[in-house]
Amino acid sequence: MGFTPLAGTRAPVRVWTDPYGIEPQAAKQLRNKGALPWVEGVAVMPDVHFGKGATVGSVIAMRQAVSPAAVGVDIGCGMSAVRTSLTAADLPDDLAGLRSAIEAVIPVGFAQREKAVDPRRVRGLEQGGWDGFWRRFADLDRRVAQLEVRAQRQLGTLGGGNHFIEVCLEQGGADEGRVWLMLHSGSRNIGKELAERHIGVARRLPHNADLPDRDLAVFLAGTPEMEAYRRDLFWAQEYARRNRAVMLAVLCNVVRDRFPQVRYDEAISCHHNYVAEESYGGVDVLVTRKGAIRAGRGDLGIIPGSMGTGSYIVRGKGNPDAYCSASHGAGRRMSRAQAKRTFDTDDLAAQTAGVECRKDAGVVDEIPGAYKDITEVMARQEDLVEVVAHLKQVVCVKG
């Protein structure tokens, strides 16, 4: 479909959805972003919606500056997925046991492990460099020094909200019925603590005093505050990736214990709340993706829907107008509070029919009806990604 320019902004704001369908609060946030003097441009994904601090589903390219609130507080939040050799015929009719086995070994919600996981003892976890990674914790903002033990115990844990673990079946094509494993999580509490501290620092800097929105306060290149943020940001992004790697290895082992014949393809992993150093049109920029994945030419990515509608594995087309980005999911169409007022557990059971998952009041705010139509979201970004596989979940673990 291509993009539509959002009128009335200094820097170009390109929208991959109907601009008139964007909620007023989100549209105001986007215009405020386009007014910042450091912004080269903004790309707005089809799953866009209002977010705390900055719009979810937005990509901001800045010159010599970065806004910590535009990254969000769950630094490095993202997705991992792996295709297995199993098919639907290998799975039992009753999947409750598989869901229980997953929940038994991967803490969810606010839970942490009683003892920190030893990555060297996790079968199939190939990622190294753990000693050096943890040594760098001592270099982080001194105000989080007391959180090291908690960060270690939360490694390999899911979290709550919209984070999930799923067993999915591929839909259509030559691999109809192929089983995939998928999960969505981020940097847990340590990423949130680091983000909130740096957002607070940015708001107090003199050059941010007259911004149209104090949540868009920025750090400037060459300053101690920017260097401190980049140090903590990149560590938290690595923590998030390692957190997903541990969980995916544990998940693969749960499945392997039940299906010893299983084989796994190479895993796919992508952030959707993060910062990257990139160049467009000869201009070096810091690209902030909050609720968006990188979709450079050939990049594999994951775009989930909701807990009852399925997900997509995609390959990027490298569209520079979107700063080589695509949506991170379906995007919410109503707040959590509104979802709880609108739907009940009967609605949840109906909308997740055929999925082995929680169907209680604690996850009504994650009901599929609270999200946008993922098929429409995908249709609006055909110039950003091509679909590699369409998946439908049969097991969904929520925090």
Tokens (6 digits) for 247: 């969980």
CA distance 58 to 43: 6
Ramachandran sector of residue 207 (left: φ over 0; alpha: ψ -120 to 50; beta: rest): alpha
CA dihedral 318, 237, 166, 114 (to 10 degrees): 170
SS3 177: coil
Phi, psi of 387 (to 5 degrees): -80, 125
Distance of CA 398 to the CA centre of its chain: 15
CA dihedral 151, 154, 156, 160 (to 10 degrees): -130
Nearest to 77 by CA among 203, 237, 189, 229: 237
CA distance 371 to 48: 11
Angle between helices 224-258 and 96-105 (to 10 degrees): 140
Q: Are 329 and 303 in contact (CB under 8 A)?
A: yes
The residues annotated as belonging to the active site are 328
118: CB partners within 8 A, 6+ apart: none
SS3 309: coil
- Which residue's structure tokens are 């959180």? 147
CA distance 301 to 306: 16
Burial environment of residue 61 by CB neighbours within 10 A (0 to 12, 13 to 18, 19 or more): buried
Instruction: For residue 29, count other CB atoms closer than 10 A to its CB.
Output: 25
Q: Are 334 and 370 in contact (CB under 8 A)?
A: yes
